[in-house]
Every structure is written in structure tokens, then in C-alpha cells.
A and B are shown apart, each in its own frame.
Chain A
């Protein structure tokens, strides 16, 4: 609990509980097998990409190329599915994403260039490459693969939830139970003292970019599985949404603070706004307005409360 508060995860968890309650009151049908599966398939790729963005934000950076990495990994995987056995296709998809992460990470960590500028440039490059790989939606994704990634594992347990949980638990162990994970938090909160303590800050930053790109590729493959297609533009909407999710999760954009569970729940909230409005009978275009208001109020209200409290003490 203390850790959750320290990592800023309390407001997003509260927001998620309020949101979920409202959702179930308006649409009790969420708890049916079909709707659970649909909702899970909508949320899981977003959660994975947002976790990727979180890792970069933890080391004090930001990844503008995250949508382009997702698109590239998505089309490489979908193309490879038509030619190779499934495990090799998955490796190809993750490998393509990892190559992007390596390039970004190398330039940021060893070229000492600002992450926002590097990833702005590489967003153009990766986007261009993925449209060279596949210029319109297609690829050879099979129904079997759909069932394995986005079908139903057991009654009321969508397969995608299992995959997300595995990724989240693995990531949690990596961040909180290994030296590498502690270094990631350390580099983000105080790069100078981390360097003074003899920790290789550059290698940690490079590692963070690699880890992030693997998570993003995983999200891209899950998306390919649930839509049964590869699409070079499939990642584009995830750039802005992933940043919004990380903001909603209470992570600090100067680095060092942010939680996995907060990010996943924030992804659920923002990912399901559209379908909540659909069931409430509201024009679904409102989802963009409401999502923006959720982000601003969940991030902004604690700030206002703190300012008012500080003003009260002074008075």
C-alpha cells in the first residue's frame, strides 16, 4: 500500500474502481463471456504498449516512436506468419521491435541525445520501413492464432488476460526483484548519484529501451492476433494514448516514479471509455472528450488539492 501511494497509483486505482462500477451499473452484460472477451482484446494491447511507455518514462525519457515500433512489429509478424512457423514469426516480430529499441536506446544512452528528439526522428524512420514491409492491411494470421491469443481460455477467462498477466508478473519481478529493475528506478530519480554509486547508467538506459520495445512488440502481436491482420498504421493511435495512460497512472514524467498495476488499470479505464458510452447510448465521439477530462482531472486534482492545502497552511 505504501509502495502504491509512493508510486502515485492510488488515484488511477480509485478512478478505475469508480469507472468499473459505473460500467457494470450501465451495462451488466460486461460480465458475460462474450463481452469480457471483447473488452479484454480491446484493452490488452493498449496495456502492453503503455507498460512499454512506462519503462521509458521511468528512466526519465519519453518515446514518440512507440506507435511506429508497434506498427513495424505488427507487420513483420503478420508477414512472417504467412511464411514461417508460429514461434519463428513471433521471434521475427519481437526482433523487429527490439531492433528499433536498440537503435533508440543506443542513440539516447551512448549518443547522449535527448529521447524526445531521437524518438521523433525514429518515428518517421520506423513508420516508413513498416509501410515498405506492407503497404496495406494483410498478412497470414490464422484463426488458431486468434484463438490462442484472443479466444477464451476457460469459461469467463479470456486468453489475452492470461498473456497480459504473465507479462505483468514477469515485469514486476524484473523491476522489483532484480538489480536491473532497481537501477531503472534509480536512473530515473537521480542519475547523478546512481553514477556516483558506480552503476552503469548508460547500460541501464539502453536496457530500458530494449525492455520497452519487447513489451511493445508483444502488444503488437496481441493486436495482430485479435484483429487477424497486420496493418502498418495499426500503432499510430497508440502513441498519444500510451502517453495518456502513463499520465493517468500517476507516473512522473521526470522519471523514477510509476507503477505497473496503475498503468494496467489506467489502460483499462481509457480503453473502455468508448464501449461504456456505446452501452449508455451516448454518441461514442464523446469518448475523446471524456478520456481527456479523465486524464486532466485525475492528474490535476491531486495537484490542486496540494496547492489548496499549502495555501491553507500558509494562511
Chain B
């Protein structure tokens, strides 16, 4: 009898151990598949390629806006200047593309994002201010800059080149999808390779989980931090350009949904808010979960307000689940 129980608990432990070995980024993807099937049970015609592409497009835009956040969170920081970095990049892109052409303007926007990020990183790493305070101050500063430097705070004249690489349609296996999907996938692939296989990428995880140890081991912690914020700034600025291309307009408060949205996608994607753990693949999974919830709420006719409620509950559930597993 006791032997049987022992055996049972042992198999239980083995399953648990096996479950724990599954990469974290698998869980949000799995959750997305489950939610997708739930949608199918409610409305059978929802299980279609079109509906999948629709959700994926929405999720990909959120994911692109959250990739930078993932990088910062891995090295134990947070970026609350995402909204106005997006607005600044989008508005400056549209302003510059008239004179220097869309490609150069895009590069210039990304570069200015990198400058914004490295200022954040320098203040955090060298002055020792908390990332929350630093990036909030930066967010406020950028809001002022946006309002002061763009006389028309709403621009809608989008260069064709940009529309083509974001909202333009691409035929893949006979299905027409928005160009932002393959664009985001390429970005995702490059970032994941950098994070997993380069020395710099791996050092982010070390700095995020034990910065003192990293310092003692001779890693240039400050420089790693600053470069992480710089990459984040560049990625967020790129997201701003993509968002303006896809939605066809830019205005001063266009980034507001991405303040909590980017953190939510990162957390649901399995990153630990205290650093040392996370992946951009997971973040896409998190964005897909949030996107599918939006789709489900939409077909149930509950309105965007209830969607926010579900987002909150999901983030809470995910945080509770992950912290329970790490504590065991």
C-alpha cells in the first residue's frame, strides 16, 4: 500500500520534473492553441486560416512592440518609456521621410531610438537610479519633445514603401497575409539567435539573474546594461515605424496602449519580471494569447472594456502559476 503510494508520488515527481524541463516559451503557445480551439467550440467558423491570420497580425504588432521590453526585462530592468518612444519614432519618421526618403528616415528613427535607450541605460547603470523612475522620467521628457517638435500632432501621409512592408499583402501558400507577419518573424528569429547563441545575449541572462556575480566574474555589467537599453530603444522605435505603417496614422498618444500591453505580453510570455529569464519566442506566444483573448471577447460582443478585464485576470493567473513553480 505505502509502496504503491510512494510509487505514485515518484511518477508524479517524474512528470513534474519532465514538465519543468519543457521550455517556458512552449506554455503560452500551448495556451494559444487551447484558446483557439475554445473559439472553435463557440463558433465553428472561427477555426479558419483567415481568423488565425487576423489574430496573428494583431499579435505580431504587439509582439514587435514588446521585443525590446523582453530584452530589458531579461537583464532585470523595465522600460516604461515605450509609449512615447513609439510616438516619437513614428512622428519623426513621417516628418523626415519627406526630405530624406523613407529608408533613411526609418534608419534615423531607429538610431534616435537607440540614443533614447542608451540615455536610459546610462542613467540606470552609471547613476544607479531605478529603471522604473528613469524610464518614467524619459517617457515624460519625450512627451514634451513630441508635443513641442511636431506642430501637427497628427500625421496621416504614409510613404508607400512603408505601407508595402507592413500593411501590404503577401501571398503565402495561397493565403494573403499582411507583410508585417513575415517581417516580425524575421526580426523574432534574429533576436532569438542573438539572445541564445551570442556571448552578449547570454551575458544578459547572467546580469539579470546575478549582477554582482557577473561583476565579480569580470563581465562589463554596466556596458551590457547600457547596450541592452540601446537595443531596446532601437526595437521600440522600429515598432513605432511599423505601427504607423500598419495603421496609417501617427499622433502624440498613439503609444499609450503599449505601456501596460508590452509588459503584459512579456510576462504572459514567461519572462520573470525580476530578470534572468525570458525569450522573444515566449513574448510572441504571450502576444498571441492576448490577441486570441481579444478575438474571443470580440465575437462574444463584450466590448474592448471587458477585454481589458480578461487581460488583467490572465496576467494575474500567469504570475501566480509561474511564481508557484519557481518556489517549489
**Interface positions of A (Cβ within 8 A of B):** 62, 64, 107, 111-114, 116-118, 120-129, 131-132, 135, 240, 243-244, 247, 253, 283, 285-293, 295-296, 299-300, 303-304
Given contacts A114-B274, A123-B260, are A107 and B133 in contact (CB under 8 A)? Answer: no
Q: Is the CB of B145 within 8 A of A289?
A: yes
Q: Is the CB of B273 within 8 A of A114?
A: yes
Q: How far is the CB of A255 from chain B (nearest CB, A)?
A: 12
Q: Is the CB of B323 within 8 A of A303?
A: no
Residues of B near A114 (CB, < 8 A) are 273-274, 319, 323
Given contacts A240-B136, A243-B132, are A127 and B144 in contact (CB under 8 A)? Answer: no
**Interface positions of B (Cβ within 8 A of A):** 78, 80, 123, 127-130, 132-134, 136-141, 143-145, 147-148, 260, 263-264, 267, 273-274, 305-306, 308-309, 311-316, 319-320, 323, 327
User: How many pairs, one residue from A and one from B, have CB atoms within 8 Å of each other in the complex?
Assistant: 120
Q: Which of A117, A132, A243, A253 has the most CB of B within 10 A?
A: A117
Assembled-state Cα–Cα distance A289/B78 (Å): 21
Q: Is the CB of B123 within 8 A of A300?
A: yes
Residues of A near B78 (CB, < 8 A) are 116
Q: How far is the CB of A84 from chain B (nearest CB, A)?
A: 25
Given contacts A124-B311, A243-B132, are A283 and B148 in contact (CB under 8 A)? Answer: yes
Assembled-state Cα–Cα distance A52/B263 (Å): 23
Assembled-state Cα–Cα distance A283/B148 (Å): 8
Residues of A near B305 (CB, < 8 A) are 128, 131-132, 135
Q: Is the CB of B148 within 8 A of A286?
A: yes
Assembled-state Cα–Cα distance A107/B319 (Å): 11
Assembled-state Cα–Cα distance A122/B312 (Å): 6
Q: How far is the CB of A54 from chain B (nearest CB, A)?
A: 13
Q: Is the CB of A296 within 8 A of B323?
A: no
Other A-B pairs beyond A114-B319, A124-B312, A244-B137, 10, CB < 8 Å: A107-B320, A120-B315, A121-B264, A122-B316, A253-B133, A285-B144, A286-B144, A295-B137, A296-B134, A299-B129
Q: Is the CB of B308 within 8 A of A127?
A: yes
Given contacts A129-B309, A296-B123, are A120 and B136 in contact (CB under 8 A)? Answer: no
Q: Is the CB of B144 within 8 A of A300?
A: no
Given contacts A114-B273, A114-B274, A292-B140, are A120 and B263 in contact (CB under 8 A)? Answer: yes
Name the one of B123, B132, B264, B313 contacting A62, with C-beta atoms under 8 angstroms: B132
Q: List 20 A-B contacts (CB under 8 A).
A: A62-B132, A112-B323, A120-B315, A121-B314, A123-B312, A124-B309, A125-B309, A125-B316, A128-B305, A128-B308, A129-B309, A131-B305, A240-B140, A244-B140, A253-B133, A285-B147, A292-B138, A292-B141, A299-B133, A303-B129
Residues of B near A118 (CB, < 8 A) are 316, 319
Q: Is the CB of A121 within 8 A of B148?
A: no
Given contacts A240-B80, A243-B133, are A292 and B319 in contact (CB under 8 A)? Answer: no
Name the one of B141, B273, B309, B316 contacting A288, with C-beta atoms under 8 angstroms: B141
Assembled-state Cα–Cα distance A132/B141 (Å): 33
Assembled-state Cα–Cα distance A179/B141 (Å): 41
Q: How far is the CB of A207 from chain B (nearest CB, A)?
A: 22
Given contacts A124-B264, A288-B143, A303-B128, are A243 and B136 in contact (CB under 8 A)? Answer: yes
Q: How far is the CB of A256 from chain B (nearest CB, A)?
A: 14
Q: Is the CB of B137 within 8 A of A292?
A: yes
The 8 A-B pairs with the shortest beta carbon distances in the complex, nearest first, are A124-B312, A288-B144, A125-B312, A289-B144, A292-B141, A121-B315, A128-B309, A121-B316
Q: Which of B273, B274, B308 has the most CB of A within 10 A?
A: B308
Assembled-state Cα–Cα distance A207/B225 (Å): 36
Given contacts A122-B316, A240-B80, A244-B137, are A287 and B144 in contact (CB under 8 A)? Answer: yes
Nearest residue in A to B78 (C-beta to C-beta)?
A116
Q: Which of A243, A253, A287, A292 has the most CB of B within 10 A?
A: A292
Assembled-state Cα–Cα distance A281/B123 (Å): 31
Nearest residue in B to A288 (C-beta to C-beta)?
B144
Given contacts A122-B312, A123-B312, are A244 and B136 in contact (CB under 8 A)? Answer: yes
Nearest residue in A to B138 (C-beta to C-beta)?
A292
Q: Is the CB of B315 within 8 A of A289?
A: no
Q: How far is the CB of B130 from chain A (nearest CB, A)?
A: 5
Assembled-state Cα–Cα distance A39/B313 (Å): 39
Given contacts A112-B323, A120-B267, A128-B305, are A107 and B273 in contact (CB under 8 A)? Answer: no
Q: How far is the CB of B24 from chain A (nearest CB, A)?
A: 15
Q: Which of A122, A123, A128, A303 has the most CB of B within 10 A?
A: A128
